[in-house]
Amino acid sequence: MPMPDYLRALRDKVGHDLVLLPMVSALVFDARRRVLLVRHAATELWTAPGGMPRPFGAPADAVVRTTWEETGLVVEPLRIVGIFGGMECSVTYRDGDQLAFIATAFEARVTGGSARADDAHFMTRHVDAREIAGLPCYPHVSEMLHATFDPAPAGEGQPAAGATAARGAWFRPARGAPPR
């Protein structure tokens, strides 16, 4: 997808410097509980469909719009799976643009549309938890999918989890504390 006008205007002011943006992702499952991933042709990395909300736009509207743009599927957001951020949610593009993002991941169900055939911009694929390890993905994807497929609390040294409808959305516990 082309860069949105508001981000292009910001880039004209800050150049390649780091920009922090909100993002959304859709975790869409098929009947076999495999999650839909998209591969961006520009990076050749896999991720969940999603993107940036428009200025003053709601995150749920953005997840519907960006999933349709990338896959051709119309989705309904069902719940928030988790909120993701940190170094795993950062990228430096080939042109030097630096981006960090806070991603809200929604579980969503398909309500219409039809999956587009792979095109010059995106390739789509449903994968199960075992297949993910063999795919080149953005760094945040493993944490997002861990929260999706294994919502039980993690052990020492693993990402913390807690994404169940009864317990609420997943998030990484705070890593530090304010100075005393």
Task: Give per-residue pLDDT as tens, 38-50.
Answer: 998 777 889 999 9
Position 84 pLDDT exceeds 80 = yes
> How confident is the prediction for the chain on average, in pLDDT?
85
CA 75 – CA 124 distance, rounded (Å): 15
CA 176 – CA 121 distance, rounded (Å): 39
pLDDT confidence tier of residue 26, bands split at 50, 70 and 90: very high
| pLDDT computed for residue 151 by the predictor | 57
| pLDDT computed for residue 157 by the predictor | 36
DSSP E strand stretches across the chain:
19-28, 35-40, 45-47, 50-51, 73-84, 90-92, 98-113, 122-127
In the predicted model, what is the mean pLDDT of residues 94-118? 92
Reading the block at residue 63, the tokens are 């997840």
